[in-house]
Amino acid sequence: MKRNLLAVSIAVGALALAGCNKDEPELTTPIQQASYGIGLNMGQSLLQDGLGDIDPQALALGLQDALGSQEQRVGDEELTSAFNELQKRSQERAEALAQEALDANKKYLEENAAKDGVTSTSSGLQYEVISSGDADGPQPQADDVVVVHYEGRLLDGTVFDSSVQRGQPAELPVAGVIPGWVEVLQLMHVGDKWTVTVPAELAYGPRSPSPVIPPNSILVFDMELVGIKPREE
């Protein structure tokens, strides 16, 4: 039978088998502990996909039958239909969460834009000047490489990246960063320190490069433009 990824994940995640046993395993051997870890990871993935109502006893029964080479109790056609239904539910949940995030983003950006000292650009980017360098100092261009000290965080305060914590400014090509940074770096002068609020569409949008950054996240950066690298001849 051709199984999709969701089906495989559910089968592998059947370490909920322990839930069907009256006596729980002690989890003392490496095999038991690794098996528990696989089940734990898959259970967490199912929860994230909105499938927390999976029946652990039925899940364990499928695993038992497979490992025991027993005849399957549900036909391929029924299984395919059931898997499709689970995928549909997971997709609907993801779309609902994405819309909730977009609605929350809109409200936050409107409130933040109304704060004293916050400037909004035509793209929706927002920034607040913390301190300024020389007003006549150099500004980066799109083909420059800049030296920046920064700390990036989510709206809940979670820090997802920080050159400050690493203790070393980053050297970055202006054209090689997220759109919000491409814009704001070309507005700054060397020595400027700004707090920059980047809307999701100017950051990573619905696709995140890291599990730490949820889809459609607004990103807030404390940025200092330390310098502009000399261009090579």
Q: Please identify which of the residues 36, 38, 161, 222 carries the catalytic annotation.
A: 161
Which residue from 133, 172, 134, 132 is spatially nearest to 152, judged by alpha carbons? 172
Residues contacting residue 100 through CB under 8 Å, at least 6 positions apart? none
Return the SS3 of 95: helix
* Residue whose pair of structure tokens reads 């080479």 in the numeric block: 69
- Could you give the angle at which helices 5-12 and 30-48 cross, rounded to 10 degrees? 140
Query: Which of these is catalytic: 49, 127, 150, 228?
Result: 150
224: enclosing H helix or E strand = strand 219-228
Residue 204 appears among annotated catalytic residues: yes
Is 150 among the residues known to form the active site? yes
Based on the residue annotation, tell me whether 221 is a catalytic residue of this protein.
yes
Coil/strand/helix, residue 124? coil
- Per the annotation, the verdict on 127 as an active-site residue is no
209: three-class secondary structure by DSSP? coil
Catalytic: which of 204, 213, 218, 228? 204
Question: On the CB side of 168, how many CA atoms lie within 13 Å of its CA?
Answer: 4
Catalytic residue (choose from 127, 144, 218, 221): 221
Q: How far apart are CA 233 and CA 230, in angstroms?
A: 9
160 a catalytic residue: yes
- Active-site position among 36, 83, 160, 222: 160
Write out the two tokens for 194.
Answer: 């700004």
- 54, 65, 83, 178: which is the annotated catalytic residue? 178
**Catalytic residue ranges:** 150, 160-161, 178, 204, 221
